[in-house]
Amino acid sequence: MSIIICKFCKSENDAENERCFSCNAPLPKTSVLSEKAKEHLSNYINSIEKRLKAEMKKADMPLFISFMLITLIWIFVSFISYKSFPEDTTIIVILAVVLGLGLFIAWGGLIKHFEHKAAEKAFDPKIKTEINAYLKEMNISGPSFKMLASEILSAKSSLLKFLDDLQ
């Protein structure tokens, strides 16, 4: 059991207390987790993040197929423009470059979309249910979990995007 010192009266309190037993001042919420619980929770959060990353790999196949389709569209439209303006190579080149750029940007959006969908599919309801059961068993609140997760994961983490609807 971990101890927290009240910053007002310097009494030693059980870290699970919400208020100081001596002066009744509120104790900081972050102290709810002991160091050992924090370490256990950190390992758990990292393992969930790894699982979501692995799930995102499932998007590789649809991404590969859409890449092929995009390339075919680009070749097809470039070919049509070549047929339409056989004399004017400038128009053909400009069309091909502009279309290529547009498709490249769309491709970036597709990667994000497919990877997010794959992670979302794994998270809800399976991983979400597991996390809720884990938090209940460990007696940790959703907000404490989110706070620690945002401390140890990078802002680009896939898990952080899904934590808003935890209990």
The reply to whether 15 sits near Zn ion by the rule CB under 5 A is: no
Alpha-carbon gap, residue 120 to 29, rounded angstroms:
30
Which is closer to Zn ion, CB of 30 or CB of 84?
30
For residue 12, the minimal CB distance to Zn ion (Å) is 10
The reply to whether 45 sits near Zn ion by the rule CB under 5 A is: no
* Residue 80: how many other CB atoms lie within 10 Å: 12
The stretch among 8-16, 44-52, 104-112, 134-142 that binds Zn ion (CB under 5 A) is: 8-16
Alpha-carbon gap, residue 162 to 9, rounded angstroms:
40
The reply to whether 23 sits near Zn ion by the rule CB under 5 A is: yes
Listed residue (156, 88, 155, 158) closest to 123, CA to CA: 158
The stretch among 21-29, 94-102, 128-136, 157-165 that binds Zn ion (CB under 5 A) is: 21-29
123 near 162, Cβ under 8 Å? Answer: yes
Q: Which residues bind Zn ion (CB under 5 A)?
A: 6, 8-9, 11, 20, 22-23, 25
